[in-house]
Amino acid sequence: MFSFTSLHGCMKYFLTLIAVFLLLTGTARADGDAYATGMAALKAKDYQTAFDILLPLAESGDSKAQYEIGYMYDRGLGRPEDNQMAVPYFRNAAEQGNPRAQVEMGDYAKWGAGGVEINHQIAFDWYLKAAIQGHPEGYSAMAISYCVGIGVSPDLLTSLGWYALLFETKSGKVTPTDLNGLCDYNHKRDPGSFFLIQKMAEQIRNRYALPTQSF
pLDDT digits (tens, 9 = 90+) for 69-80: 999 999 999 999
- Please tell me the pTM assigned to this model: 0.84
List, for residues 49-93, the tens digit of each pLDDT value: 999 999 999 999 999 999 999 999 999 999 999 999 999 999 999
CA atoms of 110 and 10, how far apart (whole Å): 56
For residue 28, is pLDDT > 60? no
**Helix/strand/coil (H, E, C) string of the chain?**
CCCHHHHHHHHHHHHHHHHHHHHHHHHHHHHHHHHHHHHHHHHCCCHHHHHHHHHHHHHCCCHHHHHHHHHHHHHCCCCCCCHHHHHHHHHHHHHCCCHHHHHHHHHHHHHCCCCCCCCHHHHHHHHHHHHHCCCHHHHHHHHHHHHHCCCCCCCHHHHHHHHHHHHHHHHCCCCHHHHCCHHHCCCCCCCCHHHHHHHHHHHHHHHHCCCCCCC
What domains lie within the chain, and their CATH numbers? 1-96 (1.25.40), 120-215 (no CATH)
